[in-house]
Structure 1
């Protein structure tokens, strides 16, 4: 009996040990599952990505090549998908917040009617903007600088209105851009050479530039080869398609105007600002428009003014304007420049150049009876729909420019705003970690989309730019990135983006972006839909992405899986080919990647096409 009992005891002991070990393993796995977030829709994501094969870097059914597309995929048949229909042909070039009919209902005073006026929710379109018949992929850079397919922007008015100014010429099935302009009939290159004799354009000191009233953006187009990136803007007015031409050429541009609202850029953003016969009344209203340029111009930055009223004594007859008016206009500009502590460093022919002093505060204190009114202490980067102020933005309070490196060192050097502790919650260490993280992410993207390095994508947008890590990791002369800072972002870091030698803009994605349809080749969005969850309709954001994306353009979305599952369902009705993929660190990470290609289709097509 004793032997039998000891055997039973040993059996029970073995079973107990086995049960305890099993429970330990179970709770360990349960804890890992809870920490990873697995289970929040991850099973769906894993099932989808498995269809791409064992190696998630290979997408056999998603073709990024021009004028080709793979079979549509990514949506379960059991899901109810709303098919979004094409809009009427009249909306081919629709710009919701700069709609011409709506604009004419607003007052013309101070260009108010040319500012952003977006439709209310009940008037928003819920359809897909069609491309014009015959639309083709733009030429690769640098050929795109000089040639634009006629079918992509079929407007000849500028070829007639600006025929003698060498802006644009119509030749067969293309527009040709000779590089001329109203103020540089010999070409933008020679004009920039003249500026470079005064402004340090060649050594990386001047990297970011603002071109106000840019026309077809030839100035910005020819600055590119000198490693200067220009943000160009012009209104949607009688000169049809100025900004559309600029973006078809592969030059950064937005629809915009200097009116009553502050420009959508942070303070101290640009190394140089430029106006070439831009018809902006700089001397009006005691120089308020010059004060706004001063806000976005870095201490030590340059302002270039070409055309009227400079050298009015010689040119007033050619300009067909009374010399008294021109003399008064220049007097007001000179007075405003003096008040802003801008020093005129050159005036040659019809071009004058001022430099903003680095220590403008001491300059103004030395001026006797100065009429300068300094803005009250506030955030100079808070600009979205805020009115311009009749005051001068102080230099202090948002970065130290003495430590700003020349470009390209600037790209990965610690930005002054971060070095000086002016971005809450972002230390030098966190900034460096962010840069490292985005190098890793971009490396993964290049494995997913082999065309990222080829120049296939010229105009790229990052819809939620953060510290600019995506654009910095992707940096290449073959393309540029529009870094968008959502106005509802937790941290306003657009100033940091500019300090890295990149460009960007503030925007609220509950509204349409200030651009024409089909102006971006690739759109990236990190955490955007999580940010706008419960703020506005995901469908509205996705329709806006579709509006500004070229046919056969690519999309990369990075977000939490539960959000991307909702996004995926909407995309299923949008004529996009797409796949949901795991994070580069594996399926247990709740953050996923959705990649997509917009199908090629044009006006009159009953179905989208995958090849021609």
Structure 2
């Protein structure tokens, strides 16, 4: 027992000595600093302006201030814009169109497309928040309510009061989830679409095969808001029109959305980006210019993609709506789309899986196939084209996009990589 006690005592002494040594070493390092690392040695005099680690000269604030004195183009500070510009969107400013006397084609919705100011008319200031602005309500609560002060527009609530778009409630604006064609709520409407298509368990995501949705003329984006809980993500688009910037409400709610319009330019997404396109009373003339707007949807939809259309043309029996329906049905038939299902106020079309139908069309059938030189993935500032973009030979053979279902798609290499010469095997190794 005595020997055991002596061993324990000796071990404690050694441990204490080690701790004391480490502590002393730490104090030495702190005191002498970089003396232990000559490359980072500390100098009591002026340094030579060289970064001790990366090399190169360090420019201090005096140099920057001197630049500002000799170069008037370098701002000393960025001013705040006038409060009247709190909702300015520089390239989508309709006042600019009038001031510069531009003559956009209103029928083609050009006035809702991008028109950026020349350099001399650009604002070099910070856009201020509206008066009374509050920190936005966080998701998921923001889906259902936002601060009225952050988006001081109540006209839309009054105009759409019978459709459950939004309700002003004191300092907040509430969103019951309604829409022009789904007064009972977007959630029930989403389930009804899944039932129409007979998807398993009434789930619109169809086992993860529907993930990306394009909602055209989205209003305040309640459709996209409720799709999130169904494992579907929507890009909601609408123009900055008389409805006082619906997209502003959507973004404040935390819903993926952007200002956009089906006008004369392609939407800024590559071909085959979405599994489903949606239009609920979006008031778009789909028959104009040889169906060029439907052909833009065709470019954006993946093989076998759907177009859900809820509008009077799908169900109303008056002569004008019947005329539009018949013409639209004929156009989509020539585009090789088929009616997947039609019920009540909604019709859902489906795009073909391959090129077979295109090749069987009679010579001269309109709209034509796009030329081989056309790039369906070119989008920025590119005009729409009234032609059908056929599938590649590989996509035609496999009759589909080749994408795996969600969420496996997160970590699986996209088949699109092979289109740009990237091997899927190498991509999988990287992932």
Report the CA distance between 1:327 and its aligned residue: 1.3
| Pairing partner for 1:170 from 145, 162, 168 | 168
Aligned-pair CA distance for 1:429: 6.2
Determine the C-alpha separation between the residues in 1 that align with 2:259 and 2:107: 19
Matches within 5 A, 1:76-87: 76=61, 79-80=64-65, 82-87=76-81
Going from structure 1 to structure 2, the CA distance change for 1:231 and 1:352 (only over 3 Å counts) comes to same
Q: Can you give the 5+ residue segments of structure 1 that lack an aligned partner in the other structure?
A: 1-25, 27-36, 45-74, 314-322, 436-612
The offset of 1:365, in angstroms, is 2.3
Contact 1:417 1:423 in 2 (8 A): yes
| CA 237–264 in structure 1, closer or farther in 2 if over 3 Å, else same | same
Per-residue CA deviation, residues 331-354 of structure 1 (Å, 9 max, x unaligned), is 121012112211101111110001
Residue 403 of structure 1 and its aligned partner are, at CA, apart by 2.3
- RMSD (Å) for aligned C-alpha atoms: 2.3
Equivalent position of 1:146 in the other structure: 144
Pairs within 5 Å for 1:115-514: 115-199=113-197, 200=199, 201-202=204-205, 203-313=207-317, 323-359=318-354, 361-369=355-363, 370-377=365-372, 378-396=374-392, 401-418=400-417, 421-424=418-421, 426-428=422-424, 431=427
Q: Does structure 1 residue 88 correspond to structure 2 residue 82?
A: yes
TM-score of the superposed pair, with normalisation by structure 1: 0.56
User: Quick check: 1:38 aligned with 2:36?
Assistant: no
Task: Check conservation: 1:305, 1:352, Cα contact below 8 A.
Answer: yes
The 1-side partners of 2:253 and 2:56 are apart by 44
Please tell me whether the aligned partners of residues 94 and 111 of structure 2 are also in contact (alpha carbons under 8 angstroms).
Answer: no
The CA deviation at 1:434 is 6.3
Structure possessing the higher relative contact order (Cα contacts under 8 Å, 6 or more residues apart):
1
User: CA, structure 1 residues 159+197, in 2 after alignment: closer, same or farther (shift >3 Å)?
Assistant: same
Local SS of the residue matching 1:129: coil
Contact 1:287 1:332 in 2 (8 A): no
Q: Which has the greater radius of gyration?
A: 2
**3-state SS in 2 of match to 1:110:** coil
Does structure 2 conserve the Cα–Cα contact (< 8 Å) formed by 1:283 and 1:330?
A: no
1:139 is displaced (CA, Å) by 1.3
Q: Distance in 2 between matches of 1:394 and 1:147?
A: 44
Residue matched to 1:546: none
8 Å Cα contact 2:290-2:367 kept in structure 1? no
SS of 1:197's partner is helix
Q: Rate the CA distance shift 1:77–1:150 in 2: closer, same or farther, 3 A.
A: farther
1:257 Cα deviation after fit:
0.6
TM-score (norm 2): 0.78
How far apart are the structure 1 equivalents of 2:226 and 2:257?
A: 14
For 1:501-580, list aligned pairs within 5 A: none
* Unaligned 5+ runs, structure 2: 1-38, 40-52, 66-74
The CA deviation at 1:112 is 1.1
* CA offsets 1:325-377 (integer angstroms, 9 cap, x no match): 21111112101211221110111111000111101x21122234533401111
